[in-house]
Amino acid sequence: MISYVIVLIYVLYMVFKSYRSSKAKKQIGTVTLAGYSDYKKIFITLLNLFFLPFIVTLKSNGKYGVLFLLILLSAVLDRMYVGDKGIKVHDVFIPKEDILHYYMVEASVNQFEIFIRGRIDVVRITVNKRKVERPLEEILAEWKLIG
């Protein structure tokens, strides 16, 4: 019985995070780039690993649906979007004004890192190569000039 309560709380937490993620995506405006970020990725991975035994020990077949739902919600949270007004990473909207600097990752044509005001560590972003028509450096230079 306690496993059901723990799993329910975790599912509600992940649904809440996904809701915040969709709200953050609406704040960015027109999407310029889409991809994935490493922002808070370790935290979500550790949460999933911690709650996995509780999900697996559920007696009903609903555990497969819960597993599928949590994998889907984790994928939604991993998405990153660059828009007119800022960047959406995880479930956070970062206004363009809070992005101090960005630079391309060496030996990679589809990754860049951004420095954010108030954060010590950088956020690495990987862009889907198939959806980029021009070089990433051009797109980022144009994006930063707009703001």
Predicted pLDDT at 134:
80
The distance of Cα 51 from the centroid of its chain, to the nearest Å, equals: 20
Mean pLDDT of 133-141: 80
Domain range holding 24?
2-146
87-120 tens-digit pLDDT: 998 889 999 889 888 888 887 778 888 888 888 8
Count of structural domains within the chain: 1
The answer to whether 33 and 127 are in contact (CB under 8 A) is yes
The answer to whether 76 and 20 are in contact (CB under 8 A) is no
pTM of the entire structure? 0.81
66-91 tens-digit pLDDT: 888 888 888 888 889 988 899 998 88
The distance of Cα 87 from the centroid of its chain, to the nearest Å, equals: 10
What secondary structure letter does DSSP report for 39? T
The answer to whether 132 and 33 are in contact (CB under 8 A) is yes
Mean pLDDT of 12-29: 91
